Structure 1
């Protein structure tokens, strides 16, 4: 049985992970970490430094500023970490890279297997269409989401850019922009409202034709399932930085 610590256990995704793990005989949640207190059925601590139970892996669905300190403590405890938190800045991403020299670290802006299939399809489409099609990315999330654009939208944009020689420039909305669209733009647009779990659409707009590739998340359980799969994968890996592509290839 895989013993899990959930960082951000009192948040929406933390509760989803805890519920799914309780129904899966391969997992046991032995502790949670959160600044708030909640009834979780396992002990909740303020930080990983305080956790005094044995565990095999940490799953992090918290807030981006909490990630560096979590990773420092994980290195000391020699615990693999699945980082599913979005909105990381450059310094926080560097903390992932530094920690991965000592422990296995899994990072993905979106834990859905479906999104990662979409990314594979979009990369192939971009190779074929980029010379004659304009590329736009549209994402929509619930009204409580803090980061914008979504980490997944940026993940998609980076995937497109990686196959196009990193020549594309990201344009976030076009308010007050009076110039015509540049050929090397990827437009990224964010919508917020209601209880939308997550919608992402990549639009290739050419002369008299439009191609759309989209993904719709209908519940948070798809992210929970991906996080648990990542945890199972990670505990058998050597120190390094892993992502959903690593998981898919391994599977």
Structure 2
């Protein structure tokens, strides 16, 4: 599966390293706004032994139509910003190139634009694309359906410089039908991301907790998303859409 990556910040670099080490993907290119590292090889820059091209281009060097004409891909993976999709969206839609977006927050207008793209191609948007977080959300929804009147608190921990409330925590609150006010925040040191959902029963407590140890966790989620999106019908998908079938798989058979 040929992939292109939009964005090459800290998380983008970690995702690129996972893609380069996967046998299921072939990294064709990376596009970023800056001219820094232009035409550098991502494998060489990251010190990964790979024969995949993975060259870095500036978004000012090519428009997306020319980029996809010269270097076609099966899926575009977006770790840039809310505005990144407007660079490649029309070109991906016209060519039926799948889109995996891991942008933490989109405006209502941009979500509407994703839906527009999804009329002609497959689009997945997940504010947190780690497998663990999305498993946690599904499990929490199941537990709430079992015990709808349980006390629920959400705690999110991140690095000290992160100013806003975690978009993932807000997604958890929305998924559970809760207001953002239930979210408790902790800011300390260099914590990459910890999310915990506490269910307070009268005689027991259940804690569902996920911790991102390194940013490569996002790369594992991208691989899962790209693999399971491949071959799907056109439409807008979430990670939950791709993971729910595993919850319905039934009990494992005895060996």
TM-score by length of 1: 0.81
C-alpha separation in 2, matches of 1:205 and 1:219: 30
Q: Distance in 1 between matches of 2:78 and 2:213?
A: 21
User: Once the two structures are superposed, what CA deviation does each residue of 1:206-241 show, in whole Å capped at 9, x if it has no partner?
Assistant: 546543221111111221011022112223122111
Which aligned pairs between 1:1-251 and structure 2 lie closer than 5 A?
A: 2-8=1-7, 10-36=8-34, 37-38=36-37, 39-41=40-42, 42-46=55-59, 48-51=64-67, 52-131=70-149, 133-145=150-162, 148-161=164-177, 168=178, 170-172=179-181, 187-207=182-202, 209-249=204-244
TM-score by length of 2: 0.80
For residues 145-169 of structure 1, the C-alpha deviation after alignment (integer angstroms, 9 at most, x for no partner) is 46x32222122112212xxxxxx4x
Distance 1:78 1:92, change over 3 A: same
- Please tell me whether the aligned partners of residues 104 and 241 of structure 1 are also in contact (alpha carbons under 8 angstroms): yes
- Alpha-carbon distance between aligned partners in 1 of 2:169 and 2:153, rounded to the nearest angstrom: 10
Does 1 or 2 have the higher relative contact order (CA < 8 Å, sep 6+)?
A: 1
Paired with 1:73 and 1:234, the residues of 2 have a C-alpha distance of 19
Uncovered stretches (5+) of structure 1, i.e. residues with no partner? 162-167, 173-186
1:60 is displaced (CA, Å) by 0.5
Residues 48/151 of structure 1: CA separation in 2 closer, same or farther (3 Å cut)? farther
- Are the counterparts in 1 of residues 6 and 84 from structure 2 also a CA contact under 8 Å? no
Question: Which residue number corresponds to residue 182 of structure 1?
Answer: none
In structure 2, C-alpha distance between the alignment counterparts of 1:21 and 1:90, rounded to whole Å: 30
User: d(CA) in 1 for partners of 2:156 and 2:74?
Assistant: 35
Take 1:75 and 1:134, find their aligned partners in 2: how far apart are those partners? Answer: 44
Residues paired across the two proteins, number: 226
CA RMSD of aligned residues (A): 2.2
